[in-house]
Amino acid sequence: MQDILNFIEGRHEPAASGEWLDDVDPATAETYARVASSDAADVDRAVAAAVRAFPAWSTTPAADRSRLLRRLARLIERDLEALARAESIDSGKPIAAARATDIPRAVQNFDFFADAVTQFSSEAHPTDEVALNYTLRQPLGAVACISPWNLPLYLLSWKIAPALAAGNCVVAKPSEVTPMTAHLLGGLCKEAGFPPGVLNILQGLGPRAGGPLCAHRDVRAISFTGSTRVGGEIARESAASFKKLSLEMGGKNPTLIFADADLGEAVPQAVRAAFSNTGQICLCGSRILIEKSVYDRVRDEIVERARALRVGDPLDPATEQGALVSRQHFEKVMGCLSLAREEGARVLCGGERAKVSGRCARGFFVQPTLLEGLGPACRTNQEEIFGPVATLLPFGSAEEAVQLANSTRYGLAASLWTRDLSRAHRVSAQLQSGIVWVNCWMFRDLRTPFGGVKESGVGREGGMDALRFFSEPKNVCVKL
């Protein structure tokens, strides 16, 4: 059985307490590794290492930091197959998705910020020919990067890369449910030549390790992706020390399909948006809103495609739907399906545990599920399920579609399908979402700001917004 360790000051090591957690393969329900169970003592050591490393790292030329980030990207690229397999086993996601998306995106994140930091500019203002005001963007110090279980290396690298590029030293906390690729990243970071203490990785539970990390007085900023509930706890925990916060949290995202849309494109993309990564992406379109005049046709085509999705062993390259990430999450999703039935939902397809033969017979699999007949105010249409479950709702006008789309406490993402250019711009502006895709879904440009509104988040990640978050502006006024 493999040990998944902390990475502190350039060394892999167990938790100070000597305690361990089980790491379970969700496709088989069997424990296959043990995870260091860190606590406040480990947090103190990791933060102290980051603080010690900060003076030298923050004054390292941007070009040199860029070269190290790019070297790390090449090592991830070299080990793509091993990392993809580790991600698939740890999270239950299809290995085809890990190969094609998760690990390549981690490579892109490090490459992108290796470039971006060399282009990071500031402002200068001549003031009435008597002074020159200019802005310095300086790194903060020790920062915390807390990532979720659904896209483990993808989202961890999305945070670590800009933090390191900007000259900060990082204490990263991956999810205890999917810790393997973070553990492997520590070894690659050392191989790439990062100085000890620049990147530290803490394994363990949120309350036991994440809580002390967020409360630590020497942590200057926290970048978090995860649930709205945990985001609220982090905001409260960090308030006393006035840390900078970026919180990317839950979503109940709408997919709006108008009658004039290219349905040959809209229907398969709506299915993709609903069921990618077994519905375990914060950007998944879990509420599919369809104009009444084409509702029956679109509904039937979506159901047909959902039924055809192949649920199976995540290590089979042909699998399209893998396992849910844990027993706890599986039970939550099944509970949500029971609630939907109590609320009067009509189950169009799925709705049950999926049966997978062979080694995966005891795994945490759920059939791709589509529901209809529920009003917008019911819990099934208001609360994030985060599984392979989507609801269908009809609308009669653009105004009603916007009203339905905006009717939840979330506002992370939305996708809109129409050939009417004027409507596309008008409705996009009215949707209460941090990102709106028109005639596409999950089409990302890493230069653009990313984040939610309402209870989906505070702050923005991506592009120069990420570098700005991980730095502090200082105005210098020089009298001429």
Active site residues: 248, 282
Residue 387: Cβ within 10 Å count: 24
d(CA 476, CA 110): 31
Work out whether the CA dihedral 71, 73, 75, 78 comes out positive or negative.
negative
Q: Which residue has the tokens 């941090």?
A: 434
Q: Which residue has the tokens 């200068």?
A: 124
From first CA to last CA, the distance across the chain in angstroms is: 67
User: Starting from the edge strand earliest in sequence, which strands make up the sheet with 413-417, in order?
Assistant: 346-349, 369-372, 389-395, 285-291, 253-257, 413-417, 435-438
d(CA 364, CA 346): 23
CA angle 179, 148, 227 (to 5 degrees): 145
Residues in the chain, total:
480
Report yes or no: 72 and 153 within 8 Å, Cβ to Cβ: no
Rounded (10°) angle between helices 80-91 and 62-78? 70
CA proximity to 175, closest of 219, 138, 225, 223: 225
Rg (CA), the chain: 23
